[in-house]
Each structure stands twice: as C-alpha cells, then as structure tokens.
Chain A
C-alpha cells in the first residue's frame, strides 16, 4: 500500500465534522432558475482548513452561506444534505438552527466595515451575541470574558468600550474573529475575511485566525479569490466553477498539479514575485450566466481542451489515484484504469 493510498483510507475512516452531500441551492427568479450551487459534495475533518476559490458568480459564497442556512431568498436548498457531526442541519427548525449558528458553525463575514452595529459599543455587541446563543453569566463575568476574547485576537481590552468607527479595518475584522470563535465552534466559515485590508494587516488577521483555529481545533472554510493567501493558509483547495465543485485536492496537488483545465488557467493567471513575465495571461472568455448554463460541462465553451463529449455529458466528480477529486472528461480514462 502506498502512502497516498493510506492517506485516502485514513481520510475515509476519520469522522468528518461536516459533510455536504449533493447540495443544490437554486435561486428562483422571474427570468428562471439560477443554479448557484449544483450538486456539490465534500467532507471536512476537524482541524482542517478548506479554501473555496473561483470567479465571482461561481457560487462559492452561496455555498458557504447555505451551510449555515443563511442563504438569502429567493435562494433555497433544492436538494442534498448538510451534516454537522453526523446530524442533518436541514432537519432543524429555524430556532434550533439559530442556536447552532455561532455555537457550532460561525461566520466571519466579508467586509467587516458593515458587519458591526455602528451605534453599539464593541463589548456590548460581543456579549449580545453570546447571550443570544444561550450564554448565561453575570455582568462581571461577561466583562472578563470579553477582555479575554479581545486579548486572544491581539486587541487591547479597551476596545470593548469603543464604537466601530473608532477601529481600523483590521481591528474590526479581529473583533469579528473574536466573536466567531467565542463559543469554540466546530466549523468557522470565513467569507473573504481580508478583502479591503492592506497586505500587512491581512497577514496579521490571518495569523490570528490561524492561531485560534489551532487552539480550538475547529475546521475552517475560507472563501475568496486571493489565491496566494489560500496557498499559504489552507490545507485543501476546492475550485468552483458555475455552481459546481470542479476540483478538490490538497494545496500541493491543486497548485503544483492542477488537473481541471479551469484550475490550470486559474493557477497560471496568478502573478508572483519569482520571475517577471513577458505576458500576463487571464482566462479567456466570460463566466457563463448561471441562468443559462451550457449543456454538459459548464466550462466547455471556454475550455482549451474541450472534446465533443464535454458539451453532452456533465462530467462526474471522480477520485484520482492520488486522492484528489476532479470533474473533467479528460480523466475518464485514468479513472477506468484505477478501477480495472
């Protein structure tokens, strides 16, 4: 048995904290049905960091929000299941789900600028969230807790008495991280946690998030398109295109050996400091309108290696010999080889 085989086996044996099974989230609009998330499946182990990447409109934010059942109407879950510690989140009542949020699955929202109440002191907002999720403590105890939480993310306890406008973007984002990790959730979902932050601050925020992730043993789903950050922070990368997960593998697999033609183009379009390129290359064409998806594989109109089959049959999400998953007809043979 090779090492890769063993790691595949181990992954199958470990109990995932989160299982997303054939999830479909559709938006019903006047113009028709928009398949924002279409038949997406993945598992998340405790302590694991998964990055979801893709162009805007690829469905990554909808997927992240749907896991918390926070997707906005007219979007709704059409099918599939979301299991947290083996228990379906779709069976819960709205009130039960509300208690799961923050305590079990928490969100670090995009644009920290707008996520905080501008007329409430930071400390009160943090306490408010905790009370709302069933924490019962005396005023004094809450105050010590807030101090602890703020110190944990490297903020001065005095921040508790401040209003959001008195904080910088990075400080606000850290307040959100402090709140999101307060109840030691099982899964933390971070939706573009560092957009609009400067590089130095971005690094500070991610170091803080990473440290808290290790301390609490939570799993993290990080959504965004900053590929460099994902490469440095995540353990695995899931590439989304037109509502589907088209590739899922370890950072090493996806960055060094991307399999799906879209992942290849995406990875190639990321500039680096290694060498100056004669020409910067983007991805040709435009992402498809989700309302009118191409038949077969959604990427075939832009794909440099499209084959006749690609416009007819949607490629299955299949496991490669090294354990990564890819949805592309180019690998139909490889798969057959493994099975034989």
Chain B
C-alpha cells in the first residue's frame, strides 16, 4: 500500500501529511512533484494544504493546470482514491473533480482553530471507520473555506449523500452559530457521486496525536487505509 502526496510549489502541509501517514499510520508514502505524470504506483493520492503557486489569482486556479493534475483526473475517473485537504480541496473544485466553489470566509479573515465536525456519511472510503453522526475534533486553517453551491447543486449533494462532514457543536448539533466560515449548510467536506474523491477544509493531519489536542484525524486516515486493504482483497479474490 502506498500513498502519494502531491507537492505543488507553495504546498505547505505536505510534510505534515507525510508525517501523519508514515510515522503515525505507519504506511508507505512518497512525495509526487507537480511535474510528474505517472501515478500508477499509488493507492491513494493526497493533495495537501498550502498556497499552491501563491494562490495570488484565485485559490487552486493555477494548480489545476499543473502537469500532474491531468493524470490525477484520469486516476480519479478510473476509481482511484483522491483526497484534497484545504488547498487540495480548492484545487479539486477548480479541476472539476468535485462540485461547488470555496470563497472567502464569512468574516473575511483567515481562521486557525479547532472545530467540531459531524460525520454525515460514514459509508465513504474516507469515513468508514467512523460511527454515524460521530463528532470529530479537527482544526481548520483557511482564509477561503466558505463552501458555496447553488440550491440545485445542494439538493443533489444531499440526495446523493455527498456531504461527508458538517461543522457542529461539541455535542453534534449543526447550527448557524457554530458555522466558522459561512459554508452553505455547514458543509466542511464533500465527496463525488462515486465516493472515491473527497475534499475537506479541516486538517486531519494536524490531529493524529493526543499531545496535539486531538487524534480524531486518525479516523479519516485509518478509514482510507481500511478501504485500500478491502479494495486489494477484493481484487485478489476477483483474481481467484
């Protein structure tokens, strides 16, 4: 099993994701330079947080033209697991791998703090070890994490159960007051219809050890690892 973390110029959370996967989850992981185009050796592609290309134009707008992104699209279309965190989520939206947009936070400021999110769908490859409606304590750190989608799009997201995490209170209540950035319907994380591509604003890689204030991020990483194992087993059984 091997994870690949894409390094765009300006990626910042690449090393944090690397550490969380290699040192905490104990899986194999490698960096993928944005100019590479071969992803065939990886079981999951991770797009980390940061300010790719400085994000001076519009978040993620330039990164989607990176040579590696064309391959990421093909990889996703073939059913490969792709996960975008923060800036990675923004890039996945720009690359049309997920629906909607991320705009400036409601308060117009960058926000870095712990938030609670509720698991809305635990039947995705990225949340399958979470209980239904489980509350996770995960930090956010973004200036443009205000998720927006039109009513029609939102209806589709709900109908297809594509909303994976919502901002909530410590006890799991979803309301406007707790919404940190103004996201439509408190959305913190969505997946595509096929469930193999996910984008989230919170940073699971920042909370994988109790000493950092929470280890809830492990639920996300362990879920993916679990999914990859299951997928590999299914393939092996298919071979028989």
Q: Do A and B come from one complex?
A: no
Q: Which residues of A come within 8 Å of B, CB atoms?
A: none
